[in-house]
Amino acid sequence: MELLNNLKWRYATKHFDPSKKVSTENLDMLKEAVQLSVSSYGLQLYKVLVVENKQIREKLKPASWNQNQITDASHLFIFCNYTDVKSKHVDGYIELIANKQGIDVSDLSGYGDFMKEKIGEMAEEEQKSWTIRQTYLALGNLLNACAELKIDACPMEGFEAEKYNEILGLTEQGLNAAVIAPVGYRSQEDQTQFRPKVRKPLNELFEVL
């Protein structure tokens, strides 16, 4: 299973080589892998910013505990969850299903109403927590795709979301920076790559019932 070899190869890259760039072709494949991620109801209640601009990343670095990955990596993926799920999000998805599958929108109204009802039952904090979790599903696909293409990545929660939201103007768009991942190519100076991968043994991690 090649996936296992890819996962053994990858690690959370601490130092990127700033001279190496991810090609447009590979970047497009990473985007498609994220696009194909699973999500609750298929709604994909998030937006992904791909930041290449050095000046923007320099502004984000202090809000990222001054970690060098932010500026040294080829690109910075920022997964942003919608903070308030509205009817328009569901309606847009229903229209997309109808267009893609050749179904009349009216035939999907029951499904749309069901989603709106279930989402409407969530308290504000529960809804926000739910949409944040969706971004992590997409992040997983990004990391696996990077590993297959031998592109390095570093999933990061070490940043100040409120400052990201302010710098990038996310709040007024109803978005929140949930999790980030610089991608690029490891520096040979990064000693982390030479350390054995540490994971719990299978018999401790799994229990078969």
CATH, residue 47: 3.40.109.10
In a domain, 109, yes or no: no
Q: Are 98 and 204 in contact, with CB atoms under 8 Å apart?
A: no
Kindly state whether residue 137 falls inside one of the protein's structural domains. Answer: yes
Confirm if 51 and 75 have CB atoms less than 8 A apart: yes
> Residue type for 116, please?
K
Give mean pLDDT, residues 174-198.
Answer: 97
Q: Is residue 120 part of a domain?
A: no
CA dist 154 and 192 (Å) reads 12
Confidence of residue 199 (pLDDT cuts 50, 70, 90): very high
Q: How confident is the model at residue 149 (pLDDT cuts 50, 70, 90)?
A: very high
Q: What average pLDDT does the structure give for the chain?
A: 97
Question: DSSP of 39-82, one letter per residue?
Answer: -GGG---EEEEEE--HHHHHHHGGGGTT-THHHHSSEEEEEEEE
Tell me if 131 is assigned to some domain. yes
Q: Is residue 188 part of a domain?
A: yes
pLDDT in the model for residue 56: 98
Q: Is 112 domain-assigned?
A: no
Q: Where are the alpha helices (DSSP H) in the chain?
A: 2-9, 24-35, 54-60, 69-72, 87-101, 109-120, 124-148, 161-168, 202-205
**Mean pLDDT along residues 109-116:** 97
Average pLDDT over residues 101-125: 96
Could you tell me the residue range of the domain that residue 172 belongs to?
2-83+125-199
> Angle between the 87-101 and 109-120 helix axes, to the nearest 10 degrees?
150
Q: Is residue 118 part of a domain?
A: no
Residue 179 in any domain: the answer is: yes
- When divided into structural domains, the chain yields a total of 1
**d(Cα 120, Cα 171) in Å, to the nearest integer?**
21
Question: Tens digit of pLDDT for each residue in 35-76?
Answer: 999 999 999 999 999 999 999 999 999 999 999 999 999 999
